[in-house]
Amino acid sequence: MAKMTHPKYKRVLVKIGGEALLGKRQYGIDVDATKGVAQQIKEVLGLGVQIALTIGAGNIFRGLTGEKEGLDRATADYMGMLGTVINAVALQDALEKAGTDTRVQTAIEMKAVAEPFIRRRAIRHMEKGRVVILAAGVGSPYFTTDTGAALRALELRCEILLKATNVDGIYDRDPRKYPNAKRFKTLKYIDAIKKEGVQIMDSAALALSMENNLPIIVFNLFKKGNLTRVVLGEDVGTKVGT
């Protein structure tokens, strides 16, 4: 059977964990790793797909970790949001050096660094072939970047939310700890929320997606070419839906 060459989706939101920018580092941003992520995004854009991105800050600071260490939860979450802005600007730099037009929009206004998030402007940027990087989550504490990704995907009328991780889908338990863990090819929203051992997104993000019928594909970004394969509709990762 010949491989598909036409994208299955016209507009997607890709949620990237901050760990994707770590490379071989223990903390911060690895320039080569960031270039690799940018190259995958550029390839998908070259297929004519409109792309919005959200990015986490796990390589810099996690709000939940800060809270566990004694920080006020709201303060810790705001610190995490600022970390996502750092990652967004780094990824923008890598994309533009690769010849891809981008815009960074933030939920927390910082005019010297990026545009404020304006839904119609973001859509127009994508229609013009620009990659839109959405930073600072939803601009409020107590919301994860997963929830922010689901919300932005719905606001921007994206056909699918692509969660890029370091595992090749959703398993019934952690495959890094249990070699015999079972990978799901498909999973219903309610099972992703309630199934014991399944921890891939927070329940608020899954509930929001379920209520609005936004499909999700969880896949391994660290395998070169996977993002392109997902967009082409190949059998990669785990699809969460009805």
49-59 pLDDT per residue, tens:
999 999 999 99
The reported pLDDT for the residue numbered 4 is 58
Confidence band for 37, pLDDT divided at 50, 70 and 90: very high
Domains within the chain, CATH numbers bracketed: 11-241 (3.40.1160.10)
If one counts every other C-beta atom within 10 angstroms of the C-beta of residue 205, the result is 27
Phi, psi of 18 (to 5 degrees): -60, -25
d(CA 47, CA 53): 16
pLDDT band, very low/low/confident/very high, at 179 (cuts 50, 70, 90): confident
1 has a pLDDT exceeding 80:
no
Q: What is the DSSP string of 50-74?
A: EEEEEE--TTT--HHHHHHTT--HH
Residue from 121, 170, 163 nearest 16 by CA: 163
2: pLDDT confidence band, cut at 50, 70 and 90?
very low
63-122 per-position pLDDT tens digit: 878 888 899 999 999 999 999 999 999 999 999 999 999 999 999 999 999 999 999 999
Residue 67 is predicted with a pLDDT of 84
Q: Could you tell me the pLDDT band of residue 184, with boundaries at 50, 70 and 90? A: very high
Q: What is the pLDDT of residue 64?
A: 77
Average model confidence (pLDDT) across the chain: 94
Q: Tens digits of per-residue pLDDT, 200-235?
A: 888 999 999 999 999 999 999 999 999 999 999 999
pLDDT tens digit sequence for 190-199: 999 998 778 7
State pLDDT tens for residues 126-145: 999 999 999 999 999 999 99
Which tokens go with 206? 């899954």
Q: Alpha-carbon distance 59 to 83, whole Å?
A: 9
Residues making up the chain, counted from first to last: 242
Separation of alpha carbons 5 and 43, rounded Å? 12
| Residue 238 reports pLDDT greater than 50 | yes
